């Protein structure tokens, strides 16, 4: 099994479970081009199965080059479309195994969405989320100063540190099965507290590094090392597989 198929074949895309044709092609042991061709052959049926009614076009997403070898567009299929696509393939043990996994993942993602919605209605969660936004804004203010600091030291892409620091922080704290537009909106209370502490760690590390006149790359490394040390104490946690009970 390829590394690609080891990840969940279903993810939350535009707030609903969908599966991309790139990973589906891997799971069904077919070429991606052949899968796209098959879908377009029966496109009227796929359009009728689209959740977003009156949408007579496919929902596309660009697969980055590091996964596909070169950038390509994949079609994001909902559960009904994915099931229908599966019926167009002859059953083998590998195909049956993937169909079983695909069905299970759609169920798991639906349950996760329901839990996330319920969680966001919890007053305790809302309070922690609100407090976390205050700390986050303080960190963002320091990052702004750090970007100017790095630019003055000759950095040509200092603004990337907004994204780089966020990715570093999320990767250090959590096991991520997929990307999220706003990961903090779906974290548990416990995880929100942890990432808020990490925000504070990054803020203080960057400020300390700048106060000491360190090179901007050294400032970043200082922040990363301290977030890593914090994670070694609390441990990483998975985002999608945690239950609401773990957040209270």
The pLDDT score that the predictor gives to residue 72 is 87
The C-alpha atoms of residue 9 and residue 36 are separated, in whole angstroms, by 17
Token pair of 115 as six digits = 């839990």
Q: Which of 118, 148, 168 delimits the end of a domain?
A: 118
The C-alpha atoms of residue 51 and residue 43 are separated, in whole angstroms, by 14
Q: Which of 118, 133, 164 delimits the end of a domain?
A: 118
> Same domain, yes or no, for 72 and 163?
no
Beta bridge partners of 75: 60
- How many CA atoms within 13 Å lie on the side-chain side of 231? 20
The C-alpha atoms of residue 203 and residue 53 are separated, in whole angstroms, by 46
CB-neighbour burial class of residue 111 (10 A; exposed 0-12, middle 13-18, buried 19+)? exposed
CA nearest 95: which of 46, 143, 14, 26?
26
149 touches 216 (CB < 8 A): yes
Beta bridge partners of 77: 19
119 touches 244 (CB < 8 A): yes
> Same domain, yes or no, for 159 and 52?
no
Q: What is the largest CA-CA distance in the chain?
A: 65
How many domains is the chain partitioned into structurally? 2
Token pair of 73 as six digits = 């567009």
- Collapsed DSSP state (helix, strand, coil) of residue 19: strand
Query: Which structural domain range is residue 194 located in?
Result: 122-247
Helices 79-87, 93-120: axis angle to 10 degrees equals 170
> Same domain, yes or no, for 128 and 112?
no
What are the mean pLDDT values of the chain's consecutive 10-residue runs (248 residues total)? 57 88 93 95 94 81 78 93 94 92 91 86 95 96 97 96 96 83 88 97 98 97 98 90 40
Q: Which of 57, 83, 118 delimits the end of a domain?
A: 118
26 touches 73 (CB < 8 A): no
């Amino acid at each position: 099994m390829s590394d690609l198929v080891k990840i969940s074949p279903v993810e939350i895309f535009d707030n609903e479970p969908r599966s991309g044709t790139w990973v589906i092609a891997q799971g069904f042991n077919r070429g991606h081009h052949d899968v796209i061709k098959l879908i377009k052959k029966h496109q009227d049926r796929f359009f009728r199965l689209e959740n977003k009614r009156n949408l007579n076009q496919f929902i596309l997403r660009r697969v980055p080059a590091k996964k596909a070898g070169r950038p390509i567009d994949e079609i994001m299929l909902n559960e009904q479309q994915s099931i229908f696509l599966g019926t167009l393939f002859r059953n083998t043990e590998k195909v049956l195994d993937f169909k079983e996994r695909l069905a299970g993942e759609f169920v798991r993602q639906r349950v996760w969405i329901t839990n996330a919605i319920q969680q966001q209605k919890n007053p305790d969660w809302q309070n922690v989320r609100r407090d976390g936004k205050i700390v986050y804004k303080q960190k963002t203010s320091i990052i702004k100063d750090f970007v100017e600091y790095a630019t003055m030291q000759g950095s040509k892409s200092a603004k990337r540190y907004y994204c780089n620091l966020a990715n570093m922080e999320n990767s250090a704290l959590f096991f991520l099965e997929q990307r999220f537009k706003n990961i903090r909106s779906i974290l548990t209370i416990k995880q929100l507290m942890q990432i808020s502490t990490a925000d504070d760690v990054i803020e203080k590390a960057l400020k300390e590094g700048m106060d000491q006149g360190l090179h901007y790359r050294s400032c970043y490394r200082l922040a990363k090392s301290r977030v890593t040390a914090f994670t070694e104490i609390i441990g990483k946690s998975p985002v999608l597989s945690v239950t609401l009970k773990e957040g209270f």
